[in-house]
Amino acid sequence: MADLAVVTEKKPREDERKIEGLSMVVFSSDLDKALAAFIIANGAAAMDIPVTMFFTFWGTNIMRREGPIQLLEKKTFMEKMFGWMMPKGPNKLVLSKMNMGGMGTMMMKNEMAKKNVYNLPKLIQEARDQGVRMIICTMSMDIMGFKKEELLPGVEFGGVGKFMASADDSRTTLFI
């Protein structure tokens, strides 16, 4: 008679746990960099890789709503100035190079449309549909005077600790 071996499941040690996912710091509000961030995020999500995007400083502008917003509380003079000087949402971003007073940005958007490349608002929606986690840095919001109602729906709010917890479980971390 053959010996029966008892199989026990061994729990992985902390340093052996499976690390997966993509975490990304989005620091820039340049159109080309925002496009790159969302193309990478959507590609990873399409491969069933968990994705977290952390929007901080200028990157928060990508996630702003366009048009007039009814605020729940008044802004200080400096908060109003930040809001007025910075791009208000994904359609207002410009290229980091060759913008040429907006002409380069317009040419890029036209070429993208001709070649059936998703524009930034469509890439953002696609990321949302695929479950990409989007966190807005609350410290950046506070410094620049952004209120929650000024930002696109479906975003989370948190500080660097919330991002670091995600990055700690990621196989890849990018800074864009």
List the structure tokens of 11: 């729990």
Q: Per the domain annotation, does 2 fall within a domain? A: no
- pLDDT tens column, 106-141: 999 999 999 999 999 999 999 999 999 999 999 999
Note the pLDDT of residue 17: 60
**Per-residue pLDDT at 13 exceeds 90:** no
Considering only residues 53 and 84, tell me which one the structure prediction assigns the higher pLDDT: 53
CATH number at residue 102: 3.40.1260.10
Q: Per the domain annotation, does 129 fall within a domain? A: yes
Note the pLDDT of residue 83: 84
Q: Per the domain annotation, does 77 fall within a domain? A: yes
Distances (CA, A) of 119 to 100, 113, 155: 20, 7, 19
- Give the chain's domain count: 1
Q: Per the domain annotation, does 15 fall within a domain? A: no
**Per-residue pLDDT at 36 exceeds 70:** yes
| Contact status, residue 172 vs residue 19, Cβ threshold 8 Å | no
- pLDDT tens column, 65-87: 987 777 778 888 888 888 888 88
The parent domain of residue 33 ranges over: 26-175
Q: Per the domain annotation, does 59 fall within a domain? A: yes
